[in-house]
Structure 1
């Protein structure tokens, strides 16, 4: 298959390789905040251009290989007007689909400060990925069918957020960017109308701080998906988006193998999904405890858990100035292995994405689509190569994965 569709990505990677910018955007102070029951709006800040700096020599970029690759990309099938194209669910109010999705960056590091997060069970899609330093994770949640009253706490965007909003025609909302990532965001087709962040002058009412918990300042920012959409509509971004590529089925159409527990041992954070037969969904445990949503008190659950094997590597962008941790690039393009968990079983396959605006598709070795279960999906974006995580699936053997 031709790779000419990725010229824009290659330009982005080239910019990283020559080290665009290494200065980092300093986040909010770490000191504890007042525990009084107040909510403070964030004024829109004035952006100060990042100072220039001499970058270090570029690091080598690994070239992912995959054989065999699926031989064809499935032809998208248009959805009926009342079906959510991100979940396959029939909407009682189809007008909710006549709007733009929003992708919101959510904290998951330092659980004593950020858990339970708010609005997670309302998301159609969630992508979990390594944060800089390769020890814990951060999330990007995509909302279309439901709008919780608030989502957060919100954190700053990462390089993966150049890809997810493009795939799902979404507006990105986050607390900020490092200077190097901000430069790439501003050079992308997302900017300026699909990027809302205090780093680009977007403050209240889109973002606000909640001081009802005594946590460090950077864990107090929240947003409202409806208000984020209003901001986008004022800039001409609104209405139903072209979202084709996902395939769903109420019942499994492909034979799988039993998978009642999926364990993902991130370096300093454990994620576990346990299948619940009564609900037909996977329930989430984090670091040994049930992981809940602050809004409804319910345990996080997913109709589908999809492990995406994605090449990842350190760039020359300094993401965290105090530690010197580097921003991670995520090669969410071309194709690689995937494991789909639904209905208490595992199905091995591949993910594909050949064009910048293409959604992820899941296929077997012949290129035929693998349907997801109707409902929400939690994507676990795990590295390939030397940092690959050994996924443990019960009752199957440890670490088995699709053949390359």
Structure 2
């Protein structure tokens, strides 16, 4: 059975089992795939896939912290934005928090990234004028406040623009045609029997932001910190994830600028490159591949064997190559 680029499997089960065993995986892990009617989420590998995919663009500067609702996200993507800062794209399906935010504006890179999810809903607070036609023509259900006014609320505890929050269940009422969770290339199961380097901490750097992932034996997860401080949510304390994917990508200048004249970076998520997978207190060298926008993203060992994730929430740090 050979991977066809995020859309399915072909061939015989015997082939993939042989490849997995050669990589030191158990027979169960070698053929591990979720989201094909087994009741498990293709995003987390755990029970309960959810009905619709909702992506929310989250503010991530100091004035926006601590954020709300991120502990319920299936996948958290970080990408570089203007001035070397970072922003988060949170993907929800398995669980919907009562409230999530602060919500901020979309970026052109989000549209390429979200193509692998089919026709997801995207909640955001605004966009540059040149980006709006792209949002309108993209295969998404666009949910800015104007399209779902009942789904947004302002908090009196913070100053604008860092006080806009989304009610996900209300937002999805305006997204009847949003796609259901489906295979995006993730595989889940036990770690490879061979390989990996024991590590307790890994830093991820953007030009003006730094994330640190520290392994917690007691929680069996990676604790997230940002700029030297614990990355907390308002209701769940320090955020922790099961697997961290550090995906090295091309980050180039786009044609767009912010209102201060800073060029908006464009993060390319179609292609291939190196990655580092953190799971179970170890780091694994990996390679990622996404041949086309409609394909999912696969992660393999340098020898080409599938590299499964630990079931649970995933953090994908899209970081510049080099």
Normalising by structure 1, we get a TM-score of 0.68
The change in CA–CA distance for 1:98 and 1:106 in structure 2 (over 3 A counts) is closer
1:266 to 206, 223, 229: 206
The residue aligned with 1:160 is 109
Is residue 231 of structure 1 aligned with residue 174 of structure 2?
A: yes
Report the Cα distance in structure 2 between the residues aligned to 1:101 and 1:266, rounded to whole angstroms.
28
**Aligned residues, how many?**
292
Question: Which consecutive residues of structure 1, in runs of 5 or more, have no partner in the other structure?
Answer: 6-73, 92-96, 389-404
The residue aligned with 1:202 is 147
Q: Secondary structure at the match of 1:313?
A: strand
Contact 1:252 1:343 (8 Å CA) reproduced: no
Alignment of 1:3-22 (within 5 A): none
Alignment of 1:4-403 (within 5 A): 77=33, 79=35, 80-91=37-48, 97-109=49-61, 111=62, 113-134=63-84, 136-169=85-118, 170-190=120-140, 194-198=141-145, 201-211=146-156, 213-215=157-159, 217-233=160-176, 236-237=177-178, 240-296=180-236, 298-318=237-257, 320-321=258-259, 323-384=260-321, 388=322
Structure number with the higher strand fraction is 2
Normalising by structure 2, we get a TM-score of 0.85
Report the Cα distance in structure 1 between the residues aligned to 2:187 and 2:208, rounded to whole angstroms.
34
Report the Cα distance in structure 2 between the residues aligned to 1:345 and 1:78, rounded to whole angstroms.
23
Contact 2:285 2:302 (8 Å CA) reproduced: no
Contact 1:250 1:373 (8 Å CA) reproduced: yes
Q: Secondary structure at the match of 2:213?
A: strand
Report the Cα distance in structure 1 between the residues aligned to 2:89 and 2:150, rounded to whole angstroms.
21
Report the Cα distance in structure 2 between the residues aligned to 1:141 and 1:310, rounded to whole angstroms.
19
Contact 1:304 1:378 (8 Å CA) reproduced: yes
Report the Cα distance in structure 2 between the residues aligned to 1:338 and 1:251, rounded to whole angstroms.
16
- Structure 1 residue 255: deviation in Å? 2.1
Cα RMSD for the two superposed structures: 2.0
Report the Cα distance in structure 1 between the residues aligned to 2:313 and 2:252, rounded to whole angstroms.
28
- Structure 1 residue 244: deviation in Å? 4.7
Report the Cα distance in structure 2 between the residues aligned to 1:313 and 1:373, rounded to whole angstroms.
31
Contact 1:210 1:221 (8 Å CA) reproduced: yes
Contact 2:245 2:314 (8 Å CA) reproduced: yes
Report the Cα distance in structure 1 between the residues aligned to 2:66 and 2:231, rounded to whole angstroms.
7
